[in-house]
Amino acid sequence: METKSIAALISDTRAGINRHLLQELKRLGIEGLAPSHGAILHHLFNNEQVTMKDLAKAVRRDKSTVTALVGKLVANGYVEKASSTQDQRTVFVRLSPKGQGLKPVFQEVSRNLIERIWRGFDETEQQELVRLLRKVRGNLP
């Protein structure tokens, strides 16, 4: 096995996951979303309202990237932004009613993705792969 191509293999796997997600969103008639919005939506499904700073930390992206991603979600009506009444520099983000309606779609797309990823793997193989990928991730910034 060629171990020097691990980064390319991980990158290609991520690209395949993104292609699958885009196909699923298209199949379900969801517009204006990209795979890069997934972590933000997931965090907001589990947290009623968060600051942009906390959201960036939670999704492991820099604040400028999260600002751009949230901007697109706002433009498409999936999230709302509001300034803090105590500190105008603090911006809160929350799901709009349209964004809240995405939760069952998000769950279906996630379930389909997980089923596809684990096709042909037994439970022991799944746990081992997750363990190893966490170890790889821990070695990186």
Indicate whether 30 belongs to any domain.
yes
Indicate whether 5 belongs to any domain.
no
* Residue 69 lies in domain: 11-138
pLDDT at 1: 62
137 has a pLDDT exceeding 80: yes
3-state secondary structure of 140: coil
Please indicate whether residue 76 or residue 141 has the higher confidence score (pLDDT): 76
Write out pLDDT tens, residues 42-101: 999 999 999 999 999 999 999 999 999 999 999 999 999 998 888 888 999 999 999 999
CATH number at residue 50: 1.10.10.10
Indicate whether 6 belongs to any domain.
no
Instruction: Name the DSSP letter for residue 32.
Output: S
3-state secondary structure of 79: strand
Domain count, the chain: 1
Indicate whether 2 belongs to any domain.
no
Indicate whether 4 belongs to any domain.
no
Average pLDDT of the residues of the chain? 94
Tokens of 102: 């995405």
pLDDT at 85: 87
3-state secondary structure of 2: coil
